[in-house]
Structure 1
Amino acid sequence: MTDLVKLAEIADTAALTAKAMPQFSDTQALSVAEGYAVQALSMQRRYARGDRRIGIKMGFTSRAKQLQMGLSDMIWGRLTESMREEEGGTIDFGRYVHPRVEPEIAYLIRDRLAGNVTPLEAMNAVAGVAPAMEIIDSRYDNFKFDLGDVVADNSSSSGFVIGDWFAPDTDVRNLGLVMSINGRAVAVGSTAAILGNPARALAAAARMAASAGEVLHPGDIVLAGGATAAAALAPGDHVETQFQTLGTVTFNVGG
């Protein structure tokens, strides 16, 4: 029988120390349900150290990515206070194993949200929307993993940067964006790549969190999923994403 508590300790230690770990499925494949169990146990270790959950992130929100991974649904992970990075500030590369960045849309929750809701119902619980970037960082050796592995590793969530908040009725369904590193465009896309409408990812966040007995509380943040492929980061990088109508989000990568 798989020792989920031990795997959670390994995953938590890898994230805490920024040291790569072997792929769990090298020795025994994890089901998606086991992956979520490991994720939850790992996050409980963080909470015990004083970190707190402040929201959730969605993953595999691209239909093409779901088909590539053989999925019929998204995955999700927890966001904690320690993952928040300052917009325009400098992140510590040493906190990560092999970090990558992707542009996203962020939602700020105004009213309690849980269970099966429509995108419209989900948006009625929103206080604001914002341009954002997520720093993803699989802690596995060589950034290699299968589905159970990535879910166990908090769905690769490790950091995020959020720009200015806008009114909740701001239309973010199809906004063009350009992500650049050191002045060179590395990704060009649209927020429509997030399920055709990021609000669908928000509704899925409420549904999937509820399946684990969790709700979205006022003040929580939801990252709706990557709008483009992720780009690798290196010390010294300056990262900037320009969003149509929403402005620019930036951060630097320290050594």
Structure 2
Amino acid sequence: MTLDLPALAKIIDEAALEGRPIPMLTADHPDLDIENAYTVQRLSMARRFERGEQLVGMKMGLTSKAKMEQMGVHEPIYGHLTNAMKLLDGDRFQLQGCCHPRVEPEIAFTLGKDLSGDVDREQALAAIQTIHPAMEIIDSRYTNFKFTLIDVVADNTSACAYVLGAGSSPEGIDLDTLELALDVGKREQLRGTSEAIYGHPLDSLRQLCVMLDRRGEGLVSGQTVLAGAATAAIYLEAGDDVRLEIPGLGRVGFNVEG
């Protein structure tokens, strides 16, 4: 069967737009590969841009090296962030229109300079204007939250929304030793470290640049990058008061409404 990538992008886009779970793409298209999946991702994002959304950054996924080994892959995956996904500290997040919403604690970078290609940590750090406590809300569009790596890449790595806390200058922030404390009401509390993010958050940013460069792309000044999750994701429920604290960096939170 010939792959109709624009048609698959339409399926993904409409599922996200309507909050409607769909079967895995690979169930009907087992020949779909990672390059096809990134093409589907870009085509589905193009549909969003045609509706007026704007690209504001990128996100990294699968940045846990243990998880990568478990899944038999050698590098993380990435997705796109738009202005429609952004929440501010203290905002309300609506569950309506979601399929399987979960929250992850993250560290985010806002760039003050363009960044691309094979850069070292010093170059990556020099391009960062501010560092933020952040949370990503992921929402896989696949039925029963079941998918392959190929499926999740096509689905823009489950990107749904993200929350940014106040930004801090990189000076004086030790990204090697940050501790992240995520509290979801009184239901769940998870603790993680910056080391869980691809060994070091700057290495996650560097790897993103390498992966984008293969496709002739790069990061530009003003964009935000979510470096990856420091813990497992927690399922969201109506009424949840979600808080993240990163000592030495700051706090951020949001409330969940049904």
Name the TM-score class by shorter chain: over 0.9
1:54 aligns with 2:53: no
1:178–1:185 contact (8 Å) kept in structure 2? no
CA deviation after TM superposition for structure 1 residue 85, in Å: 1.1
Equivalent-residue separation in structure 2 for 1:176 and 1:184 (angstroms): 20
Distance 2:214 2:111 in 1: 18
* Residue 123 of structure 2: aligned partner: 121
Asked if the contact 1:205/1:222 (under 8 Å) is kept, the reply is no
Whole-Å Cα distance in 1 between the matches of residues 176 and 135 of structure 2? Answer: 17
Count of residue correspondences: 255
Distance 1:121 1:63 in 2: 23
- Structure-1-length-normalised TM-score: 0.97
Cα pair 1:112 1:125 within 8 Å, conserved: yes
Q: How do 1:215-230 and structure 2 match up within 5 A?
A: 215-230=218-233
Question: SS of the counterpart of 1:251?
Answer: strand
Matched AA of 1:178: A
Aligned-pair distance for 1:89?
1.1
Write the distance in 1 (CA, Å) between the matches of 2:83 and 2:245: 25
- Structure 1 residue corresponding to 2:183, chosen from 164, 180, 200: 180
Q: Is the 8 A contact 1:174 1:197 kept in 2?
A: no
Tell whether 2:38 aligns with 1:65.
no
Describe how 1:103-122 pairs up with structure 2 within 5 A: 103-122=105-124
Q: Deviations over 1:28-54 (max 9, x none)?
A: 222111110100000000001110111
Alignment RMSD, CA only?
A: 1.1
What is the Cα deviation at residue 172 of structure 1? 2.0
Structure 2 gap segments, 5+ residues each: none
1:186 and 1:231 in contact (8 A); partners too? no
16-25 vs 211-220, greater mean Cα deviation:
211-220
Q: Using the alignment, how far apart are the partners of 2:87 and 2:98 within structure 1?
A: 13
Corresponding residue of 1:135? 137
The secondary structure found in structure 2 opposite 1:50 is coil
Equivalence for 2:257:
254
Provide the secondary structure at the position in 2 that maps to 1:202: helix
Instruction: After TM superposition, list the pairs within 5 Å mapping 1:1-255 onto structure 2.
Output: 1-29=2-30, 30-169=32-171, 170-255=173-258
Counterpart Cα distance in 2 of 1:16 and 1:83? 12
CA distance in 1, matches of 2:14, 2:43: 12
Q: Partner of 2:70: helix, strand, or coil? A: helix
User: What's the offset of the Cα at 1:130?
Assistant: 0.7
**Unaligned regions of 5+ residues in structure 1, if any?**
none
Q: CA deviation at 1:13?
A: 0.4
Please give the per-residue CA displacement for 1:139-192, whole angstroms capped at 9, x wherever unaligned. 000111001100000011111001110112322222112111113443111111
Deviations 1:59-116 (A, max 9, x none): 1111011011110011000001000012111011113211100000000011111111
Q: Which amino acid aligns with 2:223?
A: D
Q: C-alpha displacement at 1:131, in angstroms?
A: 0.6
CA contact (8 A) 1:195 1:201 kept: yes
Structure 1 outlier segments of 4+, above 4 Å: none
Query: Which residue identity lines up with residue 183 of structure 2 in the other structure?
Result: S
Task: Give, in angstroms, the shift of residue 212 of structure 1.
Answer: 2.4
